[in-house]
Amino acid sequence: MQLETILKTAFELGASDVHLVSGHPPVARIHTVMTALDYPVITPESALRMLQQMAGEEQLARFQKVRDADFSYELPGLARFRVNAHLQRQTVGIAMRLIKEKIPPLKALNLPEVIQKLTYLPRGLILVTGDTGSGKSTTLAAMIQVLNDRYQKHIITLEDPIEYALVSNKCVIEQRELGADVPSFASGLRHVLRQDPDIILVGEMRDLETTAAAITAAETGHLVLSTLHTVNASQTVERIIDMYPADQQNQIRSMLANTLQAVISQTLFKRVDQKGMVPAVEVMLCTAAVRNLIRENRAFEIPNIIETNRALGMNTLDNAIAELYFNGMIGREDAIAQAAYPEKLDRMLAA
């Protein structure tokens, strides 16, 4: 059983993920549905061979030491894959997220028009949030590509692992991978300001040290883009502040109010009108009113500000979901299942 053949089949079927688990045939997630591919059952020996084919010496050594390894794998001309290798029942399991080799244009992602406008910001912090597999990396890569085609600037990314391979156009782009090029996000951010960047992409603000360094970079006049695993704007603000000790939270509210420019929260839906996926997107722009709510510890009021400022390009998640439903793109059951306020959305869709 050839790894390359399996991955090509998954790519042609439009899969987002591929799972290689001993005792099962290869399985692909196609438009959210786990689908067995027409190949023989994977044995422990074949799973180990596939891991050895994809991973380098350093990744294999890490896997043998901690029983988990994250890395990227590329099939030239086809796609890159974000790979996690792990043990399950004492045999190798492999989960692979498919990343298309070509970055889709920002305008082709069915995102709100205001996101294009955010790429004109000279400085500050832009956060793209959502669950795993909600398209955060694709949105960020598309935004970076817009900047790359427009400006003559220096872009540095810190990723775990590198997903989209960015090619310098007008900008000079450096991509640093955790493990291979830099030991951690926090370490990379501590040194990045000495590398003369204009734009910094941080794969994930996953801990206090990384978050503090990203906010400091935004404070010092850089445009910083990053992600969090939060589902809406108010939760994002609260998550960042809760990372800090209680005696530092007033200070970080002030810093965040000064640096945060926007929060884009994505949820992906399976389309019912055609094959594929479509995002519902909550957008919060940091107006004076939003900044005041952050400073005054009233993040729970942010949804009201978003609701009353739709003319500026803001939108709540539930309104975005309702728009997709009324445009015939998604089903009612899916819409209500992923809503922030299911009962309220149910009434809205019935109106």
Domains 3-100 and 106-350 in one fold: no
The reported pLDDT for the residue numbered 100 is: 81
Domain-by-domain residue ranges, the chain?
3-100, 106-350
Confidence of residue 101 (pLDDT cuts 50, 70, 90): confident
Q: In what order do the strands lie in the sheet with 68-75?
A: 33-36, 27-30, 15-21, 91-100, 79-88, 68-75
Assign domain 106-350 one CATH number from 3.40.50.410, 3.40.50.300, 2.30.40.10, 3.40.470.10: 3.40.50.300
What is the average pLDDT across 119-127? 97
Rounded-to-integer distance, Cα 327 and Cα 323, Å:
6
Per-residue model confidence as pLDDT tens digits over 248-286: 999 999 999 999 999 999 999 999 999 889 999 999 999
Q: Give the pTM.
A: 0.88
Confidence of residue 1 (pLDDT cuts 50, 70, 90): low
The reported pLDDT for the residue numbered 77 is: 82
The reported pLDDT for the residue numbered 163 is: 84
Rounded-to-integer distance, Cα 196 and Cα 273, Å:
47
Phi then psi for residue 217, to 5 deg, are -60, -40
132 pLDDT more than 90:
no
What is the average pLDDT across 199-203? 97
Architecture of domain 3-100: 2-Layer Sandwich (3.30)
List helix spans (H) across 220-301.
Answer: 233-242, 249-259, 288-295
- Report which secondary-structure segment, H or E, holds 300: none
CA proximity to 119, closest of 144, 95, 139, 94: 144
The reported pLDDT for the residue numbered 203 is: 93
Label residue 130 left, alpha or beta by phi (over 0 means left) and psi (-120 to 50 means alpha): left
The reported pLDDT for the residue numbered 78 is: 85
Label residue 173 left, alpha or beta by phi (over 0 means left) and psi (-120 to 50 means alpha): beta
Per-residue model confidence as pLDDT tens digits over 137-196: 999 999 999 999 999 999 999 998 888 889 999 999 999 998 889 998 889 998 999 999
DSSP category for residue 23: T
Per-residue model confidence as pLDDT tens digits over 32-47: 899 999 999 999 999 9
What is the average pLDDT across 231-239? 96
